[in-house]
Copies of this chain bind each other. A is one copy, B any other.
């Protein structure tokens, strides 16, 4: 294993120093291990907090900023943040209008955010949690009861963040966040495993001739090990799985996401095929993202996330955003 790190034990702390040095609009609280907007809480604005294991960058710290998250709580690599981090983040962004927790559906994340929410409530903060569970690949997987939360997290954080910026109340921000999740589905494919700094070994074995269909973002098994195919067929498998769960039609927001080790030129090849598969099903690419947004360290592969848009969701997607990883229109 060769990694551009100083040591397996300091990866997250070192990366946080890098985030602090690169993004003056963010404040990194190294002691509490949280990343918040530099400006502090906005009075009267719902605070958006998310978090999860590290190794999925830019998720979540890369989405902290105007029009999106107020704070992120990065756990150790592929490990849930502890409740104390979530509490510190919630307190740091609480501007009197309540706090929304955006939680990906993994057992550890769900438990730790739940415990944190209860403790926040005891301290007088109003907290609502929204669970993201968009991955159609499997139910009740290695780390999850129900479906896993993956790419739709980016859509939920962007769209709920945009609504929160307008001064909408907590119930409304939670409502739109849940709506985005309900209207979104994802499916991922791995061409290679990833290697965590701590283990130094690939999380699973995959031969040169095989892919893992329905891969999870920590390398959890998917639906099937299958022979390697071309981009058109692999994206077809992903779109079929999504379409079977949520029939695709109308205007969609679609993300072709790289797992961390896949070159952008390949993601564009995949995007061309995804757009074609969508058109065949009567859906139209109205908005899109192509790039690395929810990664799995150095894994090679991709995921597709589709959200069935409404006028409201499109308007909120288009609203200005200013974060390290998403930035437009302000």
Contacts and interface: CB of A to CB of B under 8 A. Distances in A.
A77 B263 CA distance: 12
B6 A231 contact: yes
A192 B55 CA distance: 20
B21 A275 contact: yes
Interface stretch (A10-18, A114-122, A141-149, A174-182): A10-18
A82 interface: no
A269 B22 contact: no
Contact of A264 (B57, B266, B301): B57
A258 to B, nearest CB: 9
A15 B263 CA distance: 11
Contacts of A51: none
A70 interface: no
Given A15-B269, A269-B18, A298 B261 contact: yes
Copies per assembly: 2
Interface string A258-302: 001111111111111101000000000100101010010110111
Contacts of A140: none
Interface in A1-27: 1-7, 11-12, 14-22
Interface stretch (A98-106, A218-226, A322-330): A322-330
Contact of A295 (B1, B263, B324): B263
B2 A192 contact: yes
A77 to B, nearest CB: 8
Most buried by B among A15, A263, A300: A263
Nearest to A210: B2
Nearest to A286: B24
Interface string A80-115: 000000000000000000000000000000000000
Interface of A: 1-7, 11-12, 14-22, 54-55, 57-58, 62, 77, 191-192, 208, 211, 228, 230-232, 234, 256, 260-273, 275, 285, 288, 290, 292, 295, 297-298, 300-302, 322, 324, 327-330
Given A3-B191, A15-B268, A22-B290, 9 more contacts: A2-B191, A2-B211, A3-B266, A14-B269, A15-B269, A260-B263, A260-B264, A261-B261, A327-B327
